Structure 1
Amino acid sequence: MKSNKPVARRRRTWLATLALLGHMAVAAEPSGAVATSQTPAAAGVRTGDTPVTEGRDAVEFHPARALNGEDPWRLSDKRVPYPAARVDRLQPLFEAGDPFLGNGPIRPGLETPFGQMLQPSFLLFGSFRTALQTLDDGQKRISEWANRLDLHGNLHLSGTERLLFSMRPLDHRSGRYSGYSFEPDDERGWQEDFNPRLTQLFFEGDLGEIVPGLDPDDSHTYDIGFSVGRQTLRLQDGMLANDIVDMVGITRNSLTLPGLANLRLTGLYAWDHVIRGNNEGAYTKPHSATVLGLLAQADTALDNTLSLDLLYVRDSHDENAWYAGVSSTQRFGALNSTFRINASIPEGGRSPTVGRGVLLLSQLSRTLPGSDHLVYFNTFGNIGRFTSAARGPDQGSPVANLGILYNPVGMGRYGIPLGQSIEDSLGATLGYQMFLDGIDSQLIFEIGARSRIHGGPDRSAIGFGARYQRAIGRRHVLRLDAFQAGQERLGFAYGFRMEWMVKF
């Protein structure tokens, strides 16, 4: 009589193989997906007489072995065509080394004394903007042809290390530009601001990648990111700070705590090129104020993202002050929402660039059913006189992102429709963004208003704005802006501009 042991052994082998495949299928499911059922393998139970293991133990329990002369864990050498029409890669202005987003073999790298592999490449890219624009603010009319060129050079050393520089050789953040002034008559003529200034120059990297020998099996906490140099400091969506400063920052990412899926902590120190205030004309030149900061951002179990930023500014030319900002971003059903609270607290008395106040902001938006069109309603309230810790002269007021009526265009002397002082003020915008021809063009209509809460001169205003943008080809964008606003004691203001942008 024949023994059934070989048959039972083969049955257990097949059951173990099927259990492993089931475990791998569940493990490959995207993190955002919700499984409606769970296989025995995924649940960590026994299948037949064979225990099913997970993670690294599963790999060790089912070692890779040659089947029919092939390694089952080896990626195929066969080329599989991508199931979509090929899109040719745009050529940047200049590049050296492995092409950015290119294909083909990767060049061999260079090993550093610390064991890191470097694959250097350089990319020069940017955009050119040219615009005809006219603005009448009720007191003075400005008509001009303004130009702006942004150049960025990125020296890519590895997947985590790079050196980046930026230039604006045709204009300046203070409003000087290269072009032609048509009005007012006493300023008619050619304007030029050709300059070799670097607007940014910084290096960033990751300590654990630069010295991989510190953590060969990636089990410790040496994945610490850092950046040093002249770079953008942007906090609370530009409300608390929005400037280019000389700074060093150190970040620890991927921390977990009960109730937090991911926590990121950043410490920063800025030592120069800090511009304080809200761009209200009192002082818009950088000096050597120092900024100390601690920033935290976390994704929570409540399906929202929280951020908390604390800054201290020490200034030998102005008042020392504390700054704080907290925000929460989440969805309520189909409604997108962000709420922010920012405060500025001077240590001593107030100054033209340092005020005491609290700025509240609410941003609500919703995509309309059956379309990609978007409706948004944004509001702010400034109790007292909140001032930013650092704000570039071309960044408008702390509520610049409230809508197109509060947002600067960033070139020439074209003003901001509702960009007056926000001291002791309330404001709101209601907008409708339409997407036409897929995503090739968009049209925005917006109405906005602002009013003084109490005291001081009345700066109440109401305005209507519109913006049309259209992509032409793969590098060009046409943009049209127009607005009209009625301002208390200043009469009506209006503006129109036509801009052409080339990306390279």
Structure 2
Amino acid sequence: MIRAMILLRSCLAPVGFLILVCVTVLSAQAQVLRREPPPDTMQEERSGSPEYESHHGPREMDPAVRPAELDVKAFRKDPEYTELEYDAQKQLEIYGGKTAFDAPRPVLELGYPQYSEGIFGSGHDIIGEKNLVRPQLLAYGDWRTAVAFNDNGANETGLIATRLNLDIDLKLTATERVHMFLRPLDQGGQFSRNEFFGNDRNGPDLTVDGNVETLFFEGDIGAIQAGLTNEWSSYDLPISFGLMPLFYQNGIWVDDAFTGAAFAIPAKNSPMLDISNMDFSFFAGFDKVTTAALKDADGTLADHAGRVYGAATFIETRNGYLEMGYGFVDDIRTSQTLSGFDHSSLTAAWTKRYGHILSNSVRGFWNFGQDPVNDLPQTADGFALLMENSLITSKPLTFVPYGNFFLGVDRPQPLARGNDGLLKNTGISFETDALTGFPKLDSSAQDAFGGAIGMEYLFDLSRQVIVEAATVQPFGGRSDTILGDQYALSARYQHNLDDRWLVRSDIIRGWLDNSEDLFGIRLELRRKF
């Protein structure tokens, strides 16, 4: 009897298990979420081959738009090229004949390579998966060497000089990095050189500088917040701090590296005001602020004597480009014999193309509020108006005739840009080479007017030729810094030997009333790495 009961239980156990499985499955199926029935449909009659009727959901449209009329004649079948032979060379010509080439690589490249193809990789989740760390260390720059004969009127020298620009860039994330810039072969405007010719030569001089030119951090607060909170941020807030460079209005208003901080509110727009893009930036510098408005008693630039605070904006509107800025230079010296050179600086510029004829920029600069102690002469007071023009030719990218003009009253100054004046970009006759001391016309625009007329031709973008005539005309024939009328003829030739080597030559001949005439000729070889 007992054996029969055990046998019956052993037979019923699998059956019970199957019943349990069936009940579980049926119960689970009962809990499966069913898709909601489709929305109400409407029939749409279509004609064609074959004719049929189809069902589509109700059409939804923005009230500001309307259906476009269908023109069936606007469509036709794809073209056929069965009778034409495939020509690979002509396919390359579609893209300007561009092919892959051996691009220059940084001299130091650690981490993922620069400008590589393919997938970048996942990165490292260190500060958050929404701001992945992908470290990369690069070292790159250029080495410039030039031989020149310079006659600045006061000095006549033949020399060879060299300059090394070295950038070291540590990328942390897609938006954060630490950057350092070094110039180890020059210091204080004096470059490693050998003066071998001329009445004022001084022989060889090796200048070694271990100081850092810039060292700063830049990043985006919005991206950093996204990484730390693991939630996408709805804003961008770029920041920078350290010994950092700033560059405004093509370097005319600000082109300096100082110890400070900056932030920007980028990529805004206003359809109501027809503004497609606008940025606002704010900056402050607390040391190494370089401006010709602050000098020591011996006339050298006093880059530890001042602070700078400012704001700038650019606005793209009305098919033009508007730039504005305000800055304040604070002279922190308390000397009773040399202080009080703080001042304000305002600037505005408007750039636009007019038809297919003219590209024009008008820039204004105004310095005010300076009151030095002991009735010392003002170093930043007055205004300047610059007008930059270029004709739009049949070769707008390579053949550019230009005419740039200026008007300066009193002593206008850039906000922060070394000892150079506002006319740096007016023409090649107003710029030196930052290497050999190449001569130039007076670039201060102090109580003077003038300009430069020239032509630039870029051939196939591998060479450059510039010829130019320029003049400076002081009011009344003389100002405090310009002793008389100045005239110059200048020319430049530049040629890319390959993707790493470049050769450039310059020549200038200047005639100065009440001063010695000037002359300069130079040949420079530059290696980029």
TM-score between the two structures when normalised by the length of structure 1: 0.80
Paired amino acid for 2:344: W
Which amino acid in structure 2 is aligned with residue 322 of structure 1?
S
Is 1:178 the equivalent of 2:228? Answer: no
Question: Are 2:248 and 1:231 aligned?
Answer: no
Q: What displacement does 1:175 show? A: 2.4
Do the aligned partners of 2:294 and 2:302 also contact (CA within 8 Å) in 1?
no
CA contact (8 A) 2:359 2:390 kept: yes
Q: Name the CA shift for 1:278/1:410 in 2 (closer, same or farther; >3 Å).
A: farther
**Distance in 2, Cα, partners of 1:352 & 1:128:** 41
CA distance in 1, matches of 2:250, 2:68: 53
Question: 407, 420, 436: which one pairs with 1:381?
Answer: 407
On the 8 A contact 2:446/2:479 being kept in 1, the answer is no
Change (3 A) 1:13 1:103: farther
Q: Is the 8 A contact 2:225 2:233 kept in 1?
A: no
Give the Å deviation of 1:263.
1.9
Following superposition, the deviation at residue 303 of structure 1 comes to 0.8
Partner of 2:258: 245
Question: Percent identity, aligned pairs only?
Answer: 23
Kindly provide the amino acid, as one letter, of the partner of residue 271 in structure 1.
F
TM-fit CA distance, 1:399:
1.0
Greater mean deviation of Cα atoms: 330-339 or 185-194: 185-194
The equivalent residue for 2:148 is 133
Q: Give the aligned partner of residue 345 of structure 1.
A: 368
Instruction: Tell me by how many angstroms 1:239 deviates.
Output: 2.6
Q: Deviations over 1:320-356 (max 9, x none)?
A: 2111100111111121111111011134247567321
Give the letter aligned to residue 359 of structure 2: N
Q: CA deviation at 1:94?
A: 1.0
Q: How does 1:23-34 map to 2 (within 5 A)?
A: none
Question: Shift in Å at residue 168 of structure 1?
Answer: 0.5
| Deviation for aligned residue 1:184 | 4.3
**Partner AA of 1:135 in structure 2:** N
Measured against aligned partners, the alpha-carbon deviations of 1:426-467 in whole angstroms (never above 9, x if no partner) come to 12000101122x111111000000110136363311100000
State the partner residue of 2:132.
117
Change (3 A) 1:110 1:419: same
Paired position in structure 2 for 1:442: 464
Q: Deviations over 1:450-504 (max 9, x none)?
A: 1101363633111000000000011011101001010011242111000000000
- Spell out the pairing of 1:203-214 with structure 2 (5 A cutoff): 203-212=217-226
Aligned to 1:306: 322
Taking a change above 3 Å as real, the CA distance of residues 46 and 322 of structure 1, as seen in their structure-2 partners, is: same
Listed as ranges, the matches of 1:89-168 within 5 Å are: 89-115=103-129, 116-168=131-183
Do the aligned partners of residues 6 and 86 (structure 1) sit closer, same or farther apart at CA in structure 2, a change above 3 Å counting?
A: same
Asked if residue 322 in structure 1 is aligned to residue 336 in structure 2, the reply is no
Task: Specify which of 168, 192, 196 is matched with residue 210 of structure 2.
Answer: 196
Deviations 1:272-313 (A, max 9, x none): 00122169983323114111111111111x111111101111
- Displacement of 1:109 in angstroms is 1.0
The residue that corresponds to 1:500 in the other structure is 525
Structure-2 change in CA distance of 1:185 and 1:112 (3 Å): same
Tell me: CA distance 1:272–1:45, structure 2 relative to 1, closer, same or farther (3 Å): same
Deviates more, 1:272-281 or 1:461-470: 272-281
AA aligned opposite 1:99: P
Deviation at 1:95, TM superposition (A): 0.3
Amino acid at match of 1:292: Y
Q: Which amino acid aligns with 1:488?
A: D
Partner of 2:491: 466
Q: Is the 8 A contact 1:97 1:121 kept in 2?
A: yes
CA RMSD across the alignment: 3.0
> How far did 1:383 drift?
1.1
Structure 2: distance between partners of 1:425 and 1:370:
34
Give the count of matched residue pairs: 441
What secondary structure sits across from 2:454 in the alignment?
strand
| Whole-Å separation in 2 of the counterparts to 1:177 and 1:406 | 21
Task: Name the structure 1 match of 2:431.
Answer: 407
| CA distance in structure 1 between the aligned counterparts of 2:151 and 2:68, rounded to whole angstroms | 78
Counterparts in 2 of 1:122 and 1:427: CA distance versus 1, 3 Å? same
Give the 3-state SS of the residue equivalent to 1:390 in structure 2.
coil
Instruction: Output the TM-score relative to the length of structure 2.
Output: 0.77
Cα deviation digits, residues 381-430 of structure 1 (max 9, x gap): 1111112222224xx32211111000121113223x21354310112000
Moved more, 240-249 or 211-220: 211-220
Aligned residue runs from structure 1 range 45-124, under 5 A: 45=66, 84-115=98-129, 116-124=131-139
In the alignment, structure 1 segments of 5+ residues that lack a partner are 21-39, 49-80
Q: 1:279 to 1:184 in 2, by over 3 A?
A: farther
3-state SS of paired residue (2:429):
coil
Matches within 5 A, 1:484-495: 484-495=509-520
1:404 to 1:13, Cα distance in 2 relative to 1, 3 A: farther
Amino acid at match of 1:313: V
